[in-house]
Amino acid sequence: MATRHLLTVSVLTLAVLTTLPTIAMAQEAAIPAVPDVANSKYNFAGTINANAVYVRSGPGDNYYPTSKLDAGANVTVVGIKFDWLKIIPPEGSFSYVAKAYVSKAADGRGVVDKSDLNVRAGSTLNEMKTTVQTKLDQGMDVKIVGEKDEYWKIVPPAGTYLYVKKEFVTPGKPLPVANTGAVTDAAVVMDTPIISEPIKPAPVTTPTAVVEAPVATPTDMLAGGPTTAPSTQPTASTATGGASVATTDATPSTQPAKLSATAEYDALEAEFLAFSNEPLEEQPLADAEKRYEALKAEATLPESMKRVVDIRLITVKTRIEAREQYLAVKDMQKQMEERKLAMTAEKKELEERIEKNKVDVYTAVGTLRTSSLQSGPKVLYRLTDPGSGRTLVYIQSDDTKLPTMMGQFIGVKGQVTDDSAMGLKFISPTETKMVDPTTIGTSVTAQIIPPTILEAQGTANVGNQ
């Protein structure tokens, strides 16, 4: 049976290993494409003018953020699409490639083993990896900087770009357009591991306060934009392939209000990951459920984040149910423990009562005296009435303890026998113990009790009536 089990496991393992490349290839080929964002005729250096500005994997709020930049950070702008600037990935950015198609060398370099290998945008803010930035051909080199699940983390190769809202970039000096040779802009595409349909960027409407500027030249960019197109917002144009961002007197200092939903999402995600390491009964699940429900209803939250919110809600509700069951079991255990303690206390109380009311039963009680009649190998003793001195029964024993009890009131346990020849009663004691005469009739009783003690008890009982 064990051999058959091992053989089955081996066959299943081999089947999984042989089908993984096929599955990965199917996934790589099934990613739908979205329109290219062409590079502009002119490039320029820009400076971020607000704190916590999102850098996204695609030109729209529906694309997941890859990082945040604070005021003063520099970016290189190479293109524009509506309100979004296409930039070279800033320092600290990384991309993903499938491990199955990249062979890692000892120096950290990777070699691509297939054509049209997808390069996906990595994120320091979440674990999403659905936006494809470019494709690599077989034999190309990549620089591996880490790994995550079935992907290598690599330095973003040539032809990979990210996006930032143009209103958060102040233009600087123009830059020469790099000669990239055969490398051109790759299509920014998106897939998702959550549902089968592709995520479609939400349509972007141009604010009424924004006036598109005419095509800019490097001189225009240095001057802050052409003077013929005044605007209260930063503007950009791709009418003739040029790119520019015009400065204004009112530079935004914070994220726009519609980004507050994504800020709440980031904060709540950080809290969720933190409290997930705490004991289940200490996790603030009710508060998390309420806040995730509010996020789900927020119209400005990108669709990709809403899908994560849906998963978090399922997780939180499952944990709430599990915690209720756990607390119910724990409460039951507590009740059982309390019952056990109560039963133990009651048992102890009963034992104390039994011990307190315990009655010792002896064959005879009386004062131990010596006997002048001695016969046989054992010493003969008398058990007498302490009031009259008369003999109640004789005791035959060689117990060395008896001489030390001489003259004491004792209880004797044993079998009573009659000696017909002598006309006497004898006890061969199995136990002897000193007894308090005042306990006779309460905690001590016997078959043979001194008559004077019985009479005293009777008189006392009559007097108490």
The single-letter DSSP state of residue 257 is G
Range in 79-88, 126-135, 253-262 the model is least confident about:
253-262
Residue with structure tokens 């390491």? 277
| For residues 359-377, average pLDDT | 88
SS3 label, residue 185: coil
Q: Give the per-residue pLDDT at 314.
A: 96
* Calpha distance 392→83 (Å, rounded): 122
* Calpha distance 194→199 (Å, rounded): 10
Classify burial at 14, counting beta carbons within 10 Å of its beta carbon; exposed 0-12, middle 13-18, buried 19 or more: exposed
Same domain for 99 and 245: yes
Q: What is the CATH number of the domain that holds 392?
A: 2.40.50
Residue 402 near residue 381, CB atoms below 8 Å: yes
- Examine residue 90 and state whether it is found in any structural domain, yes or no: yes
| For residues 68-81, average pLDDT | 93
Same domain for 310 and 405: no
* Calpha distance 392→310 (Å, rounded): 96
Same domain for 91 and 58: yes
* Calpha distance 57→68 (Å, rounded): 12
* Calpha distance 431→180 (Å, rounded): 113
Same domain for 457 and 390: yes
- Examine residue 347 and state whether it is found in any structural domain, yes or no: no
Q: Give the per-residue pLDDT at 42.
A: 77
Note down the domain range covering 402: 360-463
The answer, yes or no, to whether residue 241 has pLDDT greater than 60, is no
Same domain for 302 and 213: no
Q: Give the per-residue pLDDT at 392.
A: 93
Same domain for 251 and 265: no
pLDDT averaged over the chain?
78
Q: Which of 222, 231, 194 is nearest to 306 (CA)?
A: 194
CA 288 centroid distance within chain: 14
Q: Label residue 341 by pLDDT band (50, 70, 90).
A: very high
The total number of structural domains that make up the chain? 3
Range in 236-250, 368-382, 438-452 the model is least confident about:
236-250
- Examine residue 7 and state whether it is found in any structural domain, yes or no: no
Range in 127-131, 203-207, 359-363, 425-429 the model is least confident about:
203-207
Same domain for 211 and 72: yes
The answer, yes or no, to whether residue 210 has pLDDT greater than 50, is no
Same domain for 445 and 393: yes
Q: Label residue 14 by pLDDT band (50, 70, 90).
A: very low
Same domain for 289 and 205: no
Q: Give the per-residue pLDDT at 143.
A: 94
The answer, yes or no, to whether residue 232 has pLDDT greater than 70, is no
- Examine residue 333 and state whether it is found in any structural domain, yes or no: no
- Examine residue 132 and state whether it is found in any structural domain, yes or no: yes
- Three-state SS letters, 17-39: HHHHHHHHHHHHHCCCECCCCCE
* Calpha distance 460→465 (Å, rounded): 9
Q: Label residue 423 by pLDDT band (50, 70, 90).
A: confident
**Among 321, 341, 373, where does a domain finish?**
321
* Calpha distance 435→440 (Å, rounded): 9
- Examine residue 5 and state whether it is found in any structural domain, yes or no: no
* Calpha distance 465→459 (Å, rounded): 10
Task: Please state the pTM of the whole predicted model.
Answer: 0.39
Q: Please write the tens of the pLDDT for every residue from 15-50.
A: 444 444 544 444 444 444 445 778 877 799 999 999
**Among 228, 255, 282, where does a domain finish?**
255
Same domain for 116 and 93: yes
Same domain for 248 and 144: yes
- Examine residue 92 and state whether it is found in any structural domain, yes or no: yes
- Examine residue 8 and state whether it is found in any structural domain, yes or no: no
Residue 394 near residue 382, CB atoms below 8 Å: yes
Q: Label residue 356 by pLDDT band (50, 70, 90).
A: confident
Give 144's contacts (C-beta < 8 A, 6+ positions apart).
Answer: 102, 104, 108, 109, 110, 152, 153, 154
Same domain for 141 and 121: yes
